[in-house]
Amino acid sequence: MRRASQTWWRDGEPWFGAVALANLVMGTSSVLIPLMLSRDLGRSVGTLGILTGLVSLVGVIGSLLWGRLSDAAHRRKPFVVVSYAAVGVCFLGMAFVPSFEHFLWINMLLNFFWVANASVTVLIVIENREPTSWETKIARLNQMGAIGWVLGLVAGSAALAAGAYVAPETTTIRALFALIAVGSIGASALASRRVPRTIPKFTERRFRGIALAVGNLLFERRRFAPFHLYHRLRPSKVWGALRDPHGFRPGTRRFLAATFVTFLGLGLFGIPLPLLLSERFALPSSVVFAYFALQQVGVVIAFPLAARRIRRRGNRSVQIGTIAARLILFAATAAFLALSERPPAVIALAIGFAVYGLTWSYFQLSGIALVSRLAKRENRGLALGLYNALAGVGWVIAGLASGVLAEWQGYQASFAAAAALLLVALLILFRVPAPAPSLSRDDPLERSDTLQEHVDRAQPSVKTRRLRPQSRPELAP
């Protein structure tokens, strides 16, 4: 155990602590923002849908802009430092915000700057390092972020529970925003000291191995890994791959369609969920935080289990099973809300959130693996980028639609629509061919039980080009 802990620590980087602290702050805010909207500003779930949709749209636009700027710049570090500092200033503004309109604009600004670091953190990890260490380093980066996210949810629950004894809840919420603002500015200061200065390179290595080996450990509301691939997309190239018979295979097109429908359904359920607990069930804010912390723990625990399950059953089978499990969860929740006004038992809620968290790792890891296998080798990177873009667009639309449905027809309408969309996604997936298993070096989930075994075997091909300060960088396709 001690040796394993030492190995895990050596595989990290000193600046990963800044990433963990920044994600702790964001983990706290992920539930604190809906609570602020409901408890302090007195707004409904419809308003939450508008806020989430607009904020997500700004995040997608921001990822495109920051990605291109990071390619054009000769330094990566300032993007991380400025991102964390700007997020801290935004949280400080939320602590004193007078109205919903100000709250909305600050949230949009916050998400715009947050994606600046998401566009470059993975690039910082892989640039100027041996390719065989990439997967291990990125895994540690994601794990540190996941640990920070869980700690943020736990800290938020504890702070609100303790604050209930000394101040009104609205005061505690605003004070907590001020506290996490200090944490974000501290992450910026830590990043300024710890993040290394790397020499920018344009890496043409296929990201398939990284995506398969690492997946995504974070809650779907904030990230869709690999996030930095957004800026690799060119509309003309995407359109050509979709229309050209020699572009994406039919199975790839069907799976991308299923992805969009699935994320639309996930958003219809996940976005109004915090206010369901807060408004309809009238649970204390600290308890709401605790349930989401339980969900996130499930995400982290399930990741290694999901990798082994995919290796045994195949990614298409796991993807279908995971969506089916969430469909049952969503439909059961909608039926309960339609038939009862009382909140479910504590144990039922705990089981529901555990299932909600456990299924995410299976879904995301198998989804990235499946789109990677279905795509041709020459357009695999494009397919991965489009997968993430469709996930982001689906979340934007779901934010707006969930608010309308939940406000005018009740939470059960939004959850029933989510279940219906997952059913549609399953019908599409049944027409997606199951890719044949491969034992090539590109397929870590088929070759190894652990990430390190994949790294030991991997001999990825890398084509890089150093940028001269006076040269004009060219965007990689």
Q: What CATH number corresponds to the domain at position 85?
A: 1.20.1250.20
Residue 303 has pLDDT above 50, yes or no: yes
Task: State pLDDT tens for residues 43-78.
Answer: 988 999 999 999 988 887 887 788 778 767 777 889
pLDDT at 437 over 60: no
**Tokens at 376, concatenated:** 């041709």
Q: Is 124 part of a structural domain of the chain?
A: yes
Residues 184 and 284 in one domain: no
What's the pLDDT at 125?
79
Last residue of a domain, one of 170, 199, 228: 199
Q: What is the mean pLDDT of residues 373-379?
A: 78
Residue 235 has pLDDT above 90, yes or no: no
Query: Helical H runs in 225-345?
Result: 235-243, 250-270, 273-275, 285-313, 315-339
Mean pLDDT of all residues in the chain? 80
Tell me the average pLDDT across 182-207.
79
In contact, 17 and 186? CB cutoff 8 Å: no
DSSP 425-460: HHHHHTTSPPPPP--STT-HHHH-SSHHHHHHH---
- Between the alpha carbon of residue 461 and those of residues 136, 203, 236, 416, the distances in Å are 17, 10, 27, 47
Task: Write down which residue in 173, 199, 225 finishes a domain.
Answer: 199
What residues make up the domain containing 178?
14-199
Give the count of domains, the chain. Answer: 2
Q: Does residue 300 register a pLDDT over 90?
A: no
Report pLDDT digits (tens) over 330-344: 999 999 999 988 889
3-state secondary structure of 113: helix
Mark whether 283 and 364 lie in a shared domain.
yes
Range of weakest confidence among 116-130, 159-173, 273-287, 366-380? 116-130
pLDDT tens for 24-38 read: 999 999 999 999 999
